[in-house]
Chain A
Amino acid sequence: MTDKTILVADDETHILNVVSLKLRNAGFNVLTAQDGQEALEIALAERPDLVITDYHMPLLSGLELSRRLHAEPTTTAIPVIMLTARGYQLDAHDTEASGILRMLSKPFSPRLLLATVIEVLGGAPVAVGTTGEQ
């Protein structure tokens, strides 16, 4: 798994740090961004294997970031996991059109997030739900 690179985008430093640490401890390479615009630039340049993004971010929302990545041929295949604190229920149209594979609601379990990441990246099959704990 160590060859996989994951981009984590969140404007909350604590969340960014905790997610990064969890993934690094599991052996992933982690890139971080604190707003949507920065995340888009890094993703286009680095083409990570997975993007984990917050929904509500300055400059570019997580949904818009996913849409842009999905629209770009070089990044369209990158799976996106979205974290949201608002409890938004994005409809299937939104998630499909923007290539969002999984939604996790905050507060979330880093343990569950890691399991979801492994499942999405096709690692060892792990039984996980698609939403975070409430």
Chain B
Amino acid sequence: MGRTKLVFATTLAALASGVVTLSWALFGGAGWTAAPHAALAATICFLISAVGGVAIMAILRRDCNRLTARLRQTDAPLHSTALSIPQAGFSFLQRALSELAESAERAVNDAAFRTKELEVQLKVATAERQHAEAIIYSISDAVLVTDAFDELVLANDAAARAFGFELGNSCRKPLDQVLHDPNLIGMIRHARHSDSEAPRRVVEHTLHTSAGDRTFKVTLSSVAGPRPVDGADRSAAPAGVVAVLHDMTREKEVAEMKNDFVSMVSHELRTPLASIKAYVEMLIDGEARDDKAQREFYEVIQNEANRLGRLIDNILSIARIESGLVRVTRQPQSLTVIVKDAMEVIAPQARQKQIALTEKLTPVFYQTSADRDMLHQAVLNLLSNAVKYTPINGSVCAEVDVDEAARKVIVRIIDTGVGIPPKDLPFVFDKFFRAEANSRMASGTGLGLSLVKHIIETVHHGRMLLESQVGKGSIFGFELDLCD
């Protein structure tokens, strides 16, 4: 080390002396030729400094080689090296720089990898969100998703329709600005604060709309927020609520209709059965004191048994048509023939009430593709009603008309009966409906017209016709397509 310093100092001194002497000779005013001694001294100094420079280079080169060799021996610890202090410092610096570079490169690589990973995660998350949104949008039930601040985060079309808000500009709005239903908002708030042990609650809720009340089955689920990283608070506070509203209005109506139907059927079946049982018991107990009374009793029993039979037939026919299980045999039929047959069946009933039966029929060759038995039943039901609700000495006329241009055949049963009050007209084809004003006029199942409508409209794709005037009479009819 001391040797290197000496060489370095000697070389620097010689170089400096050479420079001074040369400067003096050149610029000191003596001139090169005027000062040959000075020029010689400068030359000597330069030579000494040149030799020193070569020596320094040799020393540095040697040190460099040692350093390189030392660096190659990676297993040798730094402090045990035999290198001199400048050599060790240089090595440490290089090593540190190298480590720094390596770690910087590692960090850059890591960051790039992490970025790629995050990009993938983002893509997956976006796809999953779109997937979830697609599912929510395709659900026919109304879905509302709210956050911890009771703001609407997500909703679907069904919800927008049910609550009358616009889907596009309702996101991130407070619930009470979107829904105008304090009860439902209260339920959602309550669900958010509810015990996380029971995160799901199902309640029935009635929504009052301008179009009438709608009943919803509301499933409220509180959604837990993200758990703290340290896991200290294990019962994370609910971050929001998912409310799914299933519209049960129609289901309720159907259930009520079914209930009503069962209750009505049981009532309608019990009534003739009650007569049959009572009259049979009266006969057994000898309450019919003479032959005439006995005969009357038997007739009542027979008629009521027939009524019960018709009732059961009608209920089954309607049920079969409604459920699509009915077997339809379509063949070209002449409605003129069908109406004539039905008139013959009804004639005795008409004679009993002195009702004039008349007919205006088209030629037989006009035909329609239809199930003969079903159409016979339909015409018979219309004729039977006409006779039942027409007072004594009235008249019933059966018309079969053809509209060649429209390719339709039209049947009309025109009576001079009691007519139907306008308020009852919309309901006459409903099951078990009987106009109260006329119900004492005749007994009936309340199913006859319902069955006719089913036969004409559901089975034959025709159309029912009805006109009625109280006190004057009714025209019940239907039109069907003619066969080509």
Contacts of A25 in B (CB 8 A): 287, 289
Known: A18-B278, A22-B282, A87-B266. A106 touches B271 (CB 8 A): yes
Q: B281 contacts the other chain (Cβ, under 8 Å)?
A: yes
Known: A22-B287, A110-B287. A85 touches B274 (CB 8 A): yes
Asked if B274 and A21 sit within 8 Å, CB to CB, the answer is: no
Asked if A56 and B281 sit within 8 Å, CB to CB, the answer is: no
Known: A15-B274, A56-B267, A111-B281. A21 touches B287 (CB 8 A): yes
Contacts of B443 in A (CB 8 A): 12-13
Asked if B440 and A18 sit within 8 Å, CB to CB, the answer is: no
Asked if A14 and B277 sit within 8 Å, CB to CB, the answer is: no
In the complex, what distance in Å separates the CA atom of A134 from the CA atom of B258? 23
Known: A18-B275, A86-B263. A11 touches B439 (CB 8 A): yes
In the complex, what distance in Å separates the CA atom of A22 from the CA atom of B279? 10
Known: A14-B279, A18-B279, A58-B440. A106 touches B274 (CB 8 A): yes
| Interface of B, helix, strand, loop or mixed by DSSP | helix
Q: Which of A11, A21, A107 is B282 in contact with, Cβ under 8 Å? A: A21
Q: Which of B271, B276, B287, B440 is A85 in contact with, Cβ under 8 Å? A: B271
Q: B230 contacts the other chain (Cβ, under 8 Å)?
A: no
Q: B304 contacts the other chain (Cβ, under 8 Å)?
A: yes
Counting chain B residues whose Cβ lies within 8 A of the other chain, the interface size class is 20 to 34
Closest Cβ of chain A to B388, distance in Å, is 14
Asked if B267 and A85 sit within 8 Å, CB to CB, the answer is: yes
As a 0/1 sequence over residues 262 to 293 of chain B, the CB contacts with chain A under 8 angstroms (1 = contact) are 01001100110111111101100101010000
Contacts of A109 in B (CB 8 A): 277-278, 281
Contacts of A108 in B (CB 8 A): 274, 277-278
Q: A34 contacts the other chain (Cβ, under 8 Å)?
A: yes
Contacts of A56 in B (CB 8 A): 267
Interface residues, chain A, CB within 8 Å of chain B?
11-15, 17-19, 21-22, 25, 34-35, 56, 58-59, 85-87, 106-111
Interface residues, chain B, CB within 8 Å of chain A?
263, 266-267, 270-271, 273-279, 281-282, 285, 287, 289, 300, 304, 436, 439-440, 443
Some 27 contacts from A to B, beta carbons below 8 A apart, are A12-B271, A13-B443, A14-B300, A14-B304, A15-B275, A18-B275, A18-B278, A19-B278, A22-B282, A25-B289, A35-B440, A58-B439, A58-B440, A85-B270, A85-B271, A85-B274, A86-B263, A86-B266, A86-B267, A86-B270, A87-B270, A106-B271, A106-B273, A107-B276, A109-B278, A110-B285, A111-B285
